[in-house]
């Protein structure tokens, strides 16, 4: 992101007022870059797994290009906003952008869960660009504010993606898709909490704490029923294909999400006859 500013318009960086960020604020911004980069990379990984189920497997990895596009669009948007606000980087609120990111994440998760666009799954690739655009904008703002710490920022960025990729891989394999989505939701809440500390918004911090506690409690519950119904319209079509009995007893007995795919065990109502797909 920083290279865009250097090559595009040096004045955007040199004219920004140096605020000599306090040590506490600097550390918090570094932490936000670390966690936000990890969140975005983990989201990219999780979306490939969801898209491989809701859409066609060989199209699932389009999200990688979509993510890169979103990050670039976010950086360009920030550059334009800085120019329009006479190089005042504080005119763009990181806390407000994080709220938008949180709400968009919730909305996209719900859309994917109910499989809203089951008639044309490729649309999911387009809505997938939204969180990466917002995330790219937030990272660009922080890089612009902390241009003197660019080497540390890049390190935090890479470290976050590395650690969170392993964490999301582990959580998905061992706890399933719903807990993975709750994990990313909790990460966003933590980021928002730290950002609200900088902006001194106590009400936001209280909301974050309540939502974080709720997400932790929910993640400890049995979510197997929710996992079975993920993408319900698609699940229903699968059951129709495999429903060879007239008694309507065919159902998904067991669902397992992992880093490779989703596996369903189909029960026909006969203990000796089951299908894995």
Angle between helices 232-242 and 94-114 (to 10 degrees): 20
Closest by CA to 266, choosing from 248, 236, 242, is 242
- Residues (pLDDT < 50) of the chain are 1-20, 244, 246
Give per-residue pLDDT as tens, 140-160.
Answer: 999 988 888 889 999 999 999
Alpha helix ranges (H) inside 87-146: 94-114, 123-127, 129-145
Whether this prediction's pTM lies above 0.75 is answered by: yes
Give per-residue pLDDT as tens, 19-62.
Answer: 445 678 888 999 999 999 999 999 999 999 888 888 777 777 88
Give per-residue pLDDT as tens, 107-123.
Answer: 999 999 988 887 777 78
pLDDT for residue 14:
40
pLDDT for residue 18:
43
pLDDT for residue 243:
54
Tell me if the domain spanning 2-221 has CATH number 3.40.50: no
Question: What is the spatial distance between Cα 196 and Cα 186, in angstroms, rounded to a whole number?
Answer: 15
pLDDT for residue 200:
79
E-state strands within the chain: 251-257, 262-270, 273-276
Could you give the 3-state DSSP secondary structure of residue 106? helix
- Where in the chain are the domains? 2-221, 228-276
pLDDT for residue 5:
43
């Amino acid at each position: 992101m920083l290279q865009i500013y250097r090559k595009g318009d040096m004045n955007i960086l040199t004219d920004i007022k140096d605020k000599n960020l306090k040590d506490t604020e600097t550390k918090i911004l570094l932490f936000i870059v670390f966690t936000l980069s990890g969140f975005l990379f983990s989201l990219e990984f999780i979306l490939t797994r969801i898209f491989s189920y809701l859409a066609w497997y060989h199209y699932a990895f389009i999200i990688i290009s979509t993510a890169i596009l979103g990050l670039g669009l976010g950086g360009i948007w920030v550059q334009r906003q800085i120019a329009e606000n006479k190089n005042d980087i504080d005119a763009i609120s990181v806390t407000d952008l994080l709220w938008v990111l949180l709400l968009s994440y919730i909305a996209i998760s719900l859309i994917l869960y109910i499989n809203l666009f089951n008639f044309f799954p490729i649309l999911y690739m387009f809505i997938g660009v939204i969180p990466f655009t917002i995330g790219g904008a937030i990272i660009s703002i922080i890089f612009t504010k902390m241009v003197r710490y660019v080497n540390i920022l890049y390190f935090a960025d890479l470290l976050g993606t590395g650690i969170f990729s392993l964490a999301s891989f582990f959580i998905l394999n061992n706890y399933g898709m719903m807990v993975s989505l709750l994990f990313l939701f909790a990460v966003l809440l933590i980021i928002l909490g730290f950002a609200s500390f900088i902006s001194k918004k106590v009400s936001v911090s209280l909301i974050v704490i309540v939502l974080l506690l709720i997400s932790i409690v929910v993640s400890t519950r049995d979510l197997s029923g929710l996992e079975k119904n993920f993408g319900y319209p698609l699940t229903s079509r699968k059951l129709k294909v495999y429903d060879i009995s007239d008694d309507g007893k065919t159902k998904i007995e067991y669902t397992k999400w992992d880093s490779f795919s989703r596996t369903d065990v189909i029960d026909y109502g006969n203990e000796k006859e089951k299908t894995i797909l």
